[in-house]
Chain A
């Protein structure tokens, strides 16, 4: 059974720092991995989708990498801003189903 873990559960950093969020999964037989952002009381916003054949994806200040063999993905946020404060969730897709991690709650201090 696929299990997805995100560490740390919470993170507080000063504005301007580069930071890394981690996602690990137990079953490497995945098809996709998707990173989402969730603001309090809101739905999920898709940030990046990495297909299993890809190693990384980039969008603006965000870079996500995928290492299937080790069961890990990282989300790198460059030059963090207070507006980046949110919960970040990763989700892995196996057989047509996404399994979500419990998220990392990020707070960027001005």
Chain B
């Protein structure tokens, strides 16, 4: 298996623009997690899905952030409008089910100018 796939790997955008990050989980995994990593705050869970349904989005910082999982093999994290403080590395992870080992993608490094 190719592992968790994320795109793009790097994104540079200007403040106010819409940003869409994409994730393809490992085939057969039922749980998907979106994390954000910064030097100041470390690794934080933003939202997670189980069987394509959002279970907990309490980590989503603001209404500017939204996430979808239209099917078992694809998820998006959207920021609209983006702000410089959104600059971070965004990771997607998947697991067989909610309480199993998590496998991380390579991350998307987002820079908002």
Q: Please give the residue numbers on chain A whose beta carbons come within 8 Å of chain B beta carbons, in ascending order.
A: 31-32, 34, 36, 42-46, 49, 89, 91, 93, 96-103
Contact = CB atoms under 8 A, between A and B. Distances in A.
A43 B101 contact: no
B91 A43 contact: yes
A97 B48 contact: yes
A32 B99 contact: yes
5 contacts: A34-B102, A43-B4, A46-B103, A100-B43, A100-B44
B99 A96 contact: yes
Interface stretch (B13-21, B63-71, B72-80, B104-112): B104-112
A34 B101 contact: yes
- Identify whether the interface residues of A are mostly helix, strand, loop, or mixed: strand
- Identify whether the interface residues of B are mostly helix, strand, loop, or mixed: strand
Interface size class of B (residues with CB under 8 A): 20 to 34
B45 interface: yes
Contact of A42 (B45, B48, B106): B106
Contacts, number: 46
Give the top 10 A-B pairs by smallest Cβ distance, nearest first. A44-B104, A100-B43, A43-B104, A43-B106, A49-B101, A102-B42, A96-B98, A43-B107, A46-B101, A43-B105
Interface of B: 4, 33, 42-45, 48, 55-56, 91, 93, 98-107
A91 B95 CA distance: 14
A98 B106 contact: no
Contacts of B55: 96
Contacts of B100: 49
A98 B45 contact: yes
A98 B105 CA distance: 16
B105 A46 contact: no
A93 B99 CA distance: 8
A98 B103 CA distance: 13
A100 B99 contact: no
Nearest to A49: B101
